[in-house]
Amino acid sequence: MTYEELAKLSVEAKKIALPPYSNFHVGAALLTKGGKVYLGGNIETSSYSLTICAERTAVFKAISEGEREFKAVAIASDSPDFCPPCGSCRQVLFDLCGNIDVVLINHKGEIKVLKMSELLPYAFSDIDLKK
């Protein structure tokens, strides 16, 4: 699977988002090292702060299906520009997926590839819990 293909799947994943309050759709497509893709959309509730982002939906779906090794995550949104993951998602992605590639796609279909370590430098992780 190319990163262009993965990015197109993240655009498709916007359709499974449920953002009735912000009306801002985000889609994520998480690629495992084994080549499987898990899709996620953002899900909002009437208690706004309980919202979950598209990226975390995809990560938790994959982890709860037993996946542990990941290659990349693609992210698409309703913004015409690239949509970078929020701070909470950066921590979750780095902790549970490692230093994967992050593939962003804008409305022109252009893609930008970043490393998680660029998005979350000097990250807190399980290493810091070891005494």
Tokens standing for 62?
Answer: 């994959």
Q: Is 55 a catalytic residue?
A: yes
With b for 16 or more beta-carbon neighbours within 10 A and e for fewer, the 10-38 pattern comes to bbebbeebebeeeeebbbbbbbbeeeebb
Please tell me whether residue 44 binds ligand THU under the rule CB under 6 A: yes
Please tell me whether residue 89 binds ligand THU under the rule CB under 6 A: yes
- Residue written as tokens 């979750």? 92
Please tell me whether residue 106 binds ligand THU under the rule CB under 6 A: no
Please tell me whether residue 45 binds ligand THU under the rule CB under 6 A: no
Among 20, 22, 45, 65, binds ligand THU (CB under 6 A): 22
Q: Which one of 64-72, 83-91, 97-105, 115-123 is the stretch in contact with ligand THU (CB under 6 A)?
A: 83-91
Q: Total residues at the site for ligand THU (CB under 6 A)?
A: 13
Please tell me whether residue 85 binds ligand THU under the rule CB under 6 A: yes
Within 8 A by CB and 6+ apart from 24, the residues are: 42, 77, 78, 79
Residues carrying an active site annotation: 55
